[in-house]
């Protein structure tokens, strides 16, 4: 039995501003990323490898706010955050405020597997990347026209206001019964002051433990940090002994109550998969080895 689920951001698309062709392009991006991770699982590969491959595919696609498609900061640069966690070992790796790294999720994996630390930030994280042969790209690689327009709109409208946003993530269960999670983001358009979101915060936007579940969040990151959302889902499952679906609903309710928008994907070692959100859209897809799965964008699609 194996399963994978991915997301490409919650709240980043609205029906009003998305035509059918655009929707198909996003769905194709999701499908390609889903298949990249699924293929790893189908050949007996492990969950860590699967979530990395899915997230890399999303990072390489300019449509998603991660890697190549990362939004612009207030300074016109691209600062990315990412994290990975292995549910079997509770090993974790995360990076924050990193520029020019082609695949931030692969850097997070290198931190997880080759560093004695969990979280590396800024120039130091880039020194680690250089020392470990991670691929770099010039600034221009990350400059996309639609993100530049988002920045210009954000700067015209109101300084510091969050507009363009989004995160990508994946959770997987492999044939050996292990789960893992990967999350990666370009943050929020026009962000200032080295803002770090929930993605690289273990427990906030990213968490995995074979005993409970793997969770990747997307949306208003500050709320996920304050609510420790990813670990909250795991705690509800473990300590309150409730179903994964109920735990995810509870976490989304808390997000709504505190005034945040977003969603999460989660799965456990029994093969349960949840994709929950409280806003108009969450780019999402999942697939298991029994032929079940779906690729959806809007609320109330299954």
If one asks whether residue 228 binds a second copy (CB under 8 A), the answer comes out as: yes
Give the binding range for a second copy (CB under 8 A) out of 26-34, 134-142, 230-238, 277-285. 230-238
**Phi-psi region for residue 9, left (φ > 0), alpha (ψ -120 to 50) or beta?**
left
The residue among 44 and 124 lying less far from a second copy, judged by its C-beta, is 124
Helix (H) / strand (E) element for 141: namely helix 139-142
Q: Is 211 in the site for a second copy (CB under 8 A)?
A: no
Sheet holding 262-267, edge to edge: 206-208, 214-219, 262-267, 273-277
Residue 164 in the binding site for a second copy (CB under 8 A): no
Q: Which is nearer to a second copy, 61 or 106 (CB)?
A: 106
Among this protein's residues, is 212 annotated catalytic? no
Backbone torsions φ then ψ of 265, nearest 5 degrees: -120, 145
Among 68, 78, 195, 276, binds a second copy (CB under 8 A): 195
Among 25, 39, 118, 153, contact with a second copy (rule: CB under 8 A): 118
Distances (CA, A) of 119 to 124, 216, 228, 284: 10, 17, 17, 27
Beta pairing class for 119-121 and 92-98 = parallel
Structure tokens, 244: 């994964």
Name residue, tokens 């990508």: 168
- How big is the site for a second copy, counted in residues (CB under 8 A)? 46
Q: Is the Cα torsion angle 101, 93, 284, 46 positive or negative in sign?
A: positive
To a second copy, the closest distance from the beta carbon of 228 in angstroms equals: 4
Nearer to a second copy, 27 or 254 (CB): 254
Q: Among residues 37 and 97, whose Cβ is nearest to a second copy?
A: 97
Which residues are marked as active site?
167
- What are the residues binding a second copy (CB under 8 A)? 85, 90-92, 96-97, 115-125, 127-128, 160, 162, 191-197, 201-204, 207, 221-222, 225-228, 231-232, 235-236, 239-240, 258
């Amino acid at each position: 039995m194996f399963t994978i689920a991915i997301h490409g951001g919650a709240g980043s698309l609205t029906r009003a501003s998305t035509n059918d062709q655009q929707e198909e392009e996003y769905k194709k991006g999701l499908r390609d990323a889903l298949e990249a991770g699924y293929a790893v699982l189908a050949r007996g590969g492990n969950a860590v490898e699967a979530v990395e491959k899915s997230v890399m595919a999303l990072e390489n696609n300019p449509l998603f706010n991660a890697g190549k498609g990362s939004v612009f900061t207030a300074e016109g640069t691209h600062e990315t955050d990412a994290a990975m966690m292995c549910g079997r070992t509770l090993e974790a790796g995360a990076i924050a405020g990193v520029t020019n790294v082609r695949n931030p999720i692969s850097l997070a994996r290198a931190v997880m597997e080759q560093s004695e630390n969990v979280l590396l930030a800024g120039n130091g994280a880039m020194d680690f990347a250089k020392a470990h042969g991670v691929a770099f790209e010039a600034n221009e690689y990350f400059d996309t026209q639609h993100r530049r327009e988002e920045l210009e709109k954000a700067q015209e409208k109101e300084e510091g206001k969050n507009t363009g946003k989004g995160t990508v993530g994946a959770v997987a269960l492999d044939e050996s019964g292990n789960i893992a999670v990967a999350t990666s983001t370009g943050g929020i358009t026009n962000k200032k002051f080295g803002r770090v979101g929930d993605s690289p915060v273990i427990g906030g936007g990213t968490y995995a433990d074979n005993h409970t579940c793997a969770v990747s969040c997307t949306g208003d990151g500050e709320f996920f940090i304050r609510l420790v959302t990813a670990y909250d889902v795991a705690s509800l499952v473990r300590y309150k002994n409730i179903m994964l679906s109920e735990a995810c609903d509870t976490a989304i309710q808390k997000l709504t109550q505190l005034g945040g928008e977003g969603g999460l994907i989660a799965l456990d070692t029994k093969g349960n998969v949840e994709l929950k959100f409280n806003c108009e859209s969450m780019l999402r897809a999942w697939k298991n080895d029994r032929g079940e799965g779906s690729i959806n964008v809007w609320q109330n699609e299954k």
